[in-house]
Amino acid sequence: MEDSFRIGIITKTHGIKGEVKVIPTSAEEGRFDILSDCFVLDKSGNPVNLKVKGVKYFKNQVILKFDGYNTIED
């Protein structure tokens, strides 16, 4: 994970289907459109590799859907 950098901050869940709201920290437009997988830090600060299943845009935020997360509880 040495060559990694932060492209966004997950702020909260979105809806009930396992999506999350992300505030982009990268100025490069379209970065999330080409994202196939990413690392997300868990509660202990350890990186977890997740596959991106969907990307939507809403106002100044990005809505991400990860593979395997299908409910708000996930």
pLDDT tens for 7-46 read 899 999 999 999 999 999 988 878 899 989 999 988 898 9
What pLDDT sits at residue 22? 95
pLDDT band with cut points at 50, 70 and 90 for residue 68: very high
Q: What is the 3-state secondary structure (H, E, C) of 4-70?
A: CCCCEEEEEEECCCCEEEEEECCCCCCHHHHCCEEEEECCCCCEEEEEEEEEEEECCEEEEEECCCC
pTM: 0.84
